[in-house]
Amino acid sequence: MKDDCLFCQIAKGKIPSTTVYEDRHFRVFLDVNPASKGHCLIVPKEHFDNVYDLDAETAGKLFSLATCIARAMCDALGCDGLNIVQNNGKIAGQTVFHFHLHLIPRYEGDGVNVTWTPHESTSEELEKIRAAIRKEI
């Protein structure tokens, strides 16, 4: 636990949150400034700065929980879709530096924007990038 970390404090219940689920490892609560109605955050109770820090066991449990919460949200909210978003680093939009997964319900005409502009790429470029990433796995 990092004393100066907002989500450590929330995860451990030292700062109140609108909690929809809690177990030994995770807390799921409503985002205080939601992108849409029912926007949830899944936060591990252990502190990890970002996805690079996360261990495989926590990551597995986390995504398993995410599927369960997503289904519950879909049933409860009657949303038309749902985005799962996870930001790493300031440039990627991370503002709280304790790993968290966003579950954002989507509704027709909600104005939420989590899309990007697709770019052209050549097969040579793709192959070079593929090889560089493969080498690091």
Catalytically active residues are 100
**Considering only CA atoms, which of 58, 60, 20, 13 is closest in space to residue 40?**
20
SS3 label, residue 60: helix
| 76 in contact with ligand 5GP (CB under 6 A) | no
8 binds, among Zn ion, ligand 5GP, none (CB under 5 to 8 A by kind): Zn ion
Give the β-pairing of 40-44 and 26-30.
antiparallel
The residues in 51-90 that bind Zn ion, with binding defined as CB under 5 A, are none
Q: How far is the CB of 91 from Zn ion (least distance, A)?
A: 20
| 96 in contact with ligand 5GP (CB under 6 A) | yes
29 binds, among ligand 5GP, Zn ion, none (CB under 5 to 8 A by kind): ligand 5GP
Give me the amino acid identity at 110: D
**Considering only CA atoms, which of 43, 48, 4 is closest in space to residue 21?**
43
Stretch that binds ligand 5GP, among 54-62, 93-101, 108-116, 129-137 (CB under 6 A): 93-101
The residues in 15-74 that bind ligand 5GP, with binding defined as CB under 6 A, are 17, 29-33
| 102 in contact with Zn ion (CB under 5 A) | no
Q: At CA 74, angle to CA 69 and CA 77, rounded to 5?
A: 110
47 binds, among Zn ion, ligand 5GP, none (CB under 5 to 8 A by kind): Zn ion
Q: How far is the CB of 1 from Zn ion (least distance, A)?
A: 7
List b or e across 32-65, with b for residues whose CB sees 16 or more CB atoms inside 10 angstroms: eeebbebbbbbbbbbbbebeeebeeebeeebeeb
